[in-house]
Structure 1
Amino acid sequence: MNKSRLWLKNSLLLLPVIVWQLFALSLQGFAREIPAPQENSEFRFSGEYGLWVQEVRGRIEVHWITAEEDSGFLRVLRNDKPVHEFATPFSLLHQVSFEKPGGPDFTIHYGSLRDALDNHKTVIQLAVKRPEAIFGRVDSLYVLGDLHGEYDRLVQLLSTANIIDANLDWIATTKHLVILGDIFDRGHHVTKILWLLYQLDRQAELAGGRVHVVLGNHEIMTFDNDLSYTSPKERLIGHLHRVPYPKLFDVHHSILGQWLAAKPGLIKIENTLFAHGGVTPFYADYSIKAFNDTLRIFLDQGTFADESPDSSAALADSLWYLRRQRFLYGEGSVFWYRGYVIAGTSEDDLEKVLKTYQCTTHVIAHTIVKTISEYYDGKVIAVDLIKPATEMLLLVSKGPERFKIHLDGTVEKLQSRK
């Protein structure tokens, strides 16, 4: 057995030990009560659960993990026509590199040669664009708060609401879906959720609908290599690929990272303002475009704008760092603010924000509530749940009613709280 295969085999043999050690560490500082994984928990790595695709110097690198040691395969198709075909050696970890195909997208078929159930298909988009952040009237608008890796519940909710079909494809036509940040951390299937949303984003736009992914504090933490809340299973994906976990979402090379970093931190749909934590009057000085442009600059250029040892450059870097930290991590940051649910924000401040953006409602996540609820006589709706992805907000243009959809498909009107 060669060294690479031995390393991978030993990694999986040590999986239960590593998982429990990392899980114990990850519990430190948890604000949310999370049960320990059961002994029969299934840690899936095959297909999009462990897929890593990046673009480096005009070439595409595809890295995938098979359910068991086997020879692998990868086929690249463009407009349903074969472009490349590869076979990989007997292993758990597989990697192929090829010249970037022409055109805006291509499809990869990949997996295990012997196991038909371990065969997968993913469409890769090469043209990453900044999405719009301001929309007019939308007939039906679905909103989910912090998902935190809860893939199975997410699929159940989207299926129950007839947003996706049994093949996980978009069937909601012109409806809109808002994911209000914090896809990352805590749960075991973050990577799989990201690939699902990545596919639905493309499908929804082709159908005349939209999937809006709004960035939250846990996306930013991952970009910045803060893994304080990253689940042991997710960290193992990076371990198996032999790279630090954030490398899987590098904003310059990773396909998922490029896509995610292009997403906004603030959007407006009709008369509703959406942000992960909440917008205070201080940040209301930003237009929606200016806010999202600033976010993109900070994500693109990282902690320091200039690494030169020159003193003037060092001062500029210090100022840059302070601005970046306040914008992304400050207590009043749009990604961290909790004042609209936890007492601290006056209704006058809320009115200033709503008036500035010409909105009547502000939908937020980040601050945990037992159930999706209205505050300030319905001017604020909070959607971050103690148990993630167990309810989904539904807003309709036909009337003032707001609804929440449960996992079992039941629908009820929201209850307002002061």
Structure 2
Amino acid sequence: MSTYVVGDIHGEFNQLLELLNTMDFSSKDWLYVMGDVVDKGEYPIKSLQLLMGLPNCTCLMGNHELMMLKNREMINNLGNLSKKFIENNCLNILDWLNNGAESTLCELSELSLDERNKILDYVEKFKPYVELSVNGVDYLLVHGGLGNFSVEKPIADYSLEELVWDRPDYSKEYFSNKILVTGHTPTQRIKENTLPGYIFMGNNHIALDCGAFSPKGKLAGICLETMEEFYSR
């Protein structure tokens, strides 16, 4: 059995298929997805549906899933939105649209109400964080970071917004006894990364968002047993 962790997918369904194939992912393995499956890319819902079919997969909540869920009522009333509803919810709607929601909404609009709710129910169960140990090494997986960080602060005391929206300081070691694994921040933007666009490892951090949606980006994954890196292209 191998434990794989994959960065932000952002609707890049074909890259997801390619990466799973490259990793030789099987029913004997376990997959952790770092959040932000939806938005931006062409097939966010198709990507979610693929993950829904994997019983050996755990998804973390990303800020894009959080925006999606805040607009659940709007999603379930596509084509039948009142002016009053739009006025009362315009900030949530605009926030999501400004962050690449168009492709997600287009795919959702092609589904029945029952199919939409199955997908939204699945996303509701995404984890705010995951703690695990592999080969004696402890890992803490969160999509974004640890907002208002304190080494004494229990992980359960962080708000969801602090976990999915905030970004870590990759120049700083947060924990001496565990590795913080994140997505959210493209590795192209990490100053400490000597290989922009590839997985960053340093200061007890692993950063996995390699900008799959961007023209020169890629979907990235890592095997925690071997620390082997995998890329879609």
Same fold (TM over 0.5): yes
Residue identity opposite 1:368 in structure 2? P
Q: Distance in 2 between matches of 1:148 and 1:237?
A: 13
Q: Distance in 2 between matches of 1:263 and 1:238?
A: 19
Paired residue for 1:266, among 129, 134, 141? 129
Q: Is the 8 A contact 1:177 1:212 kept in 2?
A: yes
CA 217–234 in structure 1, closer or farther in 2 if over 3 Å, else same: closer
Where does structure 1 lack aligned partners over 5 or more consecutive residues? 1-138, 164-170, 205-210, 292-326, 409-418
Q: Is the 8 A contact 1:149 1:185 kept in 2?
A: yes
- Confirm or deny that 1:154 pairs with 2:20: no
Identity %: 24
Q: Identify which range, 234-243 or 151-160, moves more after superposition.
A: 234-243
Q: Distance in 2 between matches of 1:199 and 1:241?
A: 17
How far does residue 162 in structure 1 lie from its aligned partner after superposition? 1.4
How far does residue 156 in structure 1 lie from its aligned partner after superposition? 0.8
Corresponding residue for residue 220 of structure 1: 66
- Confirm or deny that 1:285 pairs with 2:147: no
1:257-306 deviation line (CA, Å, top 9, x unaligned): 11221221111111111000122535963454x76xxxxxxxxxxxxxxx
Q: Is the 8 A contact 1:162 1:172 kept in 2?
A: no
Paired residue for 1:237, among 91, 101, 107? 107
Map 1:58-207 → 2, pairs under 5 A: 140-163=2-25, 171-173=26-28, 175-200=29-54, 202=55, 204=56
TM-score by length of 2: 0.72
How far does residue 160 in structure 1 lie from its aligned partner after superposition? 1.8
Higher relative contact order (CA 8 A, sep 6+): 2
Q: Distance in 1 between matches of 2:201 and 2:58?
A: 21
Corresponding residue for residue 118 of structure 2: 255
CA 236–393 in structure 1, closer or farther in 2 if over 3 Å, else same: same
Residue identity opposite 1:339 in structure 2? P
1:322-380 deviation line (CA, Å, top 9, x unaligned): xxxxx344xxx111122333x5xx43xx13xx6xxxx421111111111101121xx10
CA 259–233 in structure 1, closer or farther in 2 if over 3 Å, else same: closer
Q: Is the 8 A contact 1:141 1:395 kept in 2?
A: yes
CA 238–363 in structure 1, closer or farther in 2 if over 3 Å, else same: closer
Larger gyration radius, structure 1 or structure 2:
1
Corresponding residue for residue 210 of structure 2: 385
How far does residue 229 in structure 1 lie from its aligned partner after superposition? 2.4
Q: Distance in 2 between matches of 1:265 and 1:156?
A: 27
- Secondary structure of the residue aligned to 1:334 is helix
Say what the alpha-carbon RMSD is for the aligned residues. Answer: 2.6
CA 197–282 in structure 1, closer or farther in 2 if over 3 Å, else same: same
How far does residue 213 in structure 1 lie from its aligned partner after superposition? 0.3
How far does residue 182 in structure 1 lie from its aligned partner after superposition? 0.4
Q: Distance in 2 between matches of 1:279 and 1:227?
A: 25
Would you say how many aligned residue pairs link Structure 1 and Structure 2? 191
Residue identity opposite 1:142 in structure 2? Y
Corresponding residue for residue 403 of structure 1: 228
Corresponding residue for residue 200 of structure 2: 373
Where does structure 2 lack aligned partners over 5 or more consecutive residues? 72-95, 188-196
Structure number with higher strand proportion:
1
Q: Distance in 1 between matches of 2:64 and 2:219?
A: 19
CA 235–286 in structure 1, closer or farther in 2 if over 3 Å, else same: same
CA 140–336 in structure 1, closer or farther in 2 if over 3 Å, else same: same
Q: Distance in 2 between matches of 1:393 and 1:152?
A: 18
Corresponding residue for residue 118 of structure 1: none
Q: Distance in 1 between matches of 2:155 and 2:102?
A: 39
1:1-37 deviation line (CA, Å, top 9, x unaligned): xxxxxxxxxxxxxxxxxxxxxxxxxxxxxxxxxxxxx
Map 1:290-301 → 2, pairs under 5 A: none
Q: Is the 8 A contact 2:145 2:166 kept in 1?
A: yes
Q: Is the 8 A contact 1:283 1:334 kept in 2?
A: no
Q: Is the 8 A contact 2:39 2:103 kept in 1?
A: no
CA 287–366 in structure 1, closer or farther in 2 if over 3 Å, else same: closer
TM-score by length of 1: 0.42
CA 237–172 in structure 1, closer or farther in 2 if over 3 Å, else same: closer
- Secondary structure of the residue aligned to 2:185 is strand
